[in-house]
Chain A
Amino acid sequence: MTWTNHEFDHIPGTYVFNGRRSVLGYPLNRMCMSFNSEENRHAFLRDEDAYCRRFGLSDEQRQAVSDRDVLRLIKLGGNIYYLAKLAGIFRLNVQDIGAQQSGMSVDDFKAMLVAAGE
């Protein structure tokens, strides 16, 4: 068995959400989908690790959730739109998680975005 290579594989710093990543990340993304419910968001906060185990996250995925490490979660098959639901529980917005993934401070990240418009 082998996963097909793609034309977008060479794009740096980019993890296109293909079948391989979706299979790897399925339990993680399924957990994130459950966060559409406020009740589930509270249940997660009451016992994060138990909640992650209930959805069958791998040890690495559970560790990355615990570390709030969005880039690691992306590499472990998380889809950014689903991870945004998780990040929202930690009160992190897309600029916060963009800064985190690109290894910049939030202020530098915002300045980069503003500069891109000039």
Chain B
Amino acid sequence: MATILGGITTSHIPAIGNAIQRGRENDPSWKPFFDGYIPVRAWLDDVKPDLAVVVYNDHGLNFFLDQIPTFAMGAAKEYPNCDSGWGLEEGPAALGNPEFSWHLIESLVRDEFDLTICQEMKVDHGFMVPMSVLWPHAMEWPLQVVPLAVNTVQHPLPSPARCFKLGKALGKAIASYPEDLNVVVIGTGGMSHQLQGERAGLINKPFDLMFLETIVTNPDALARLSVPDLVESAGSEGVELIMWLVMRGALGERVSLIHRHYHVPVSSTAAGVLVLENAA
């Protein structure tokens, strides 16, 4: 049976990818941020996942505004990364696991999550930066992946409650896979940031710290927030935090906090890191 080893949250800011590509992890301005990943990598070395479900949003590579799925899951053998005009070098393609993807898709659709199914899917920095920061300078990724794209670009967005429920259905789907497979679920994006409008530059540290605490102990409370609540508190782009709730939903009701880190700013964004395991 497949097992969920735990969940990780991480930012996917392009500047992180740039800093890794330029070998700047130990620069004084970057070190405090990258140090927050040392315990995450140690945990990954220890638990050795076979596969990661990466919950991310596309910023205009695989999807354009002509067709925007609310939730889309990859079912490909391989997920290439391509130039999307953000100045990052292309990273290695990620290998998929079509049998596992189709199992998840069948289970999720049965549970009334009507996903868009992608047998060809390019992944942008929303996916690649988390991979790079967790496995820096990898020539090839040491595990298989299933990309799960959530629309955080074109409103209306799925509500925090909907994303949390998707996570619960995802957890059930993973656990019902008949083959042995060790899985981590990675929720990307956030934390508070706003890139647009006169309010650009918004960072809300009290809100972020509340979110980092509450997602561990009482995620139902976060699922009761609305999208406008999140836009108001975390910024128009900080709304990406809905993807953390997909990760959290996939874990059990009670979780153990393995690691938490928070750093401001990375580019114009607050960066939060979590490693959670299901409580014994």
Contacts and interface: CB of A to CB of B under 8 A. Distances in A.
A81 B235 CA distance: 14
Given A98-B200, A113-B203, A84 B153 contact: no
Interface string A90-110: 000111011101111000010
Interface of B: 15, 59-61, 64-65, 82-87, 153-156, 194-201, 203-205, 226-228, 231-232, 235-237, 263-265, 267-268, 270
A88 B85 contact: yes
Max chain A Cβ within 10 angstroms of own Cβ: one of B61, B82, B231, B270: B231
How big is chain A's contact interface, by range? 35 or more
Contacts of A104: 201
15 contacts: A11-B199, A16-B231, A22-B65, A26-B65, A32-B60, A84-B59, A84-B195, A88-B86, A94-B195, A98-B201, A98-B268, A101-B196, A113-B265, A117-B203, A117-B270
A41 interface: yes
A85 B85 contact: yes
B65 A29 contact: yes
A8 B82 contact: no
Contacts of B155: 6, 16-19
B36 to A, nearest CB: 13
Interface in A9-52: 11-19, 22, 26, 29-30, 32-33, 35-38, 41
A113 to B, nearest CB: 4
A114 B270 CA distance: 10
A79 interface: yes
Contacts of A15: 196-197, 236
B268 A95 contact: yes
A82 B84 CA distance: 10
B60 A36 contact: yes
A74 interface: yes
A13 B65 contact: no
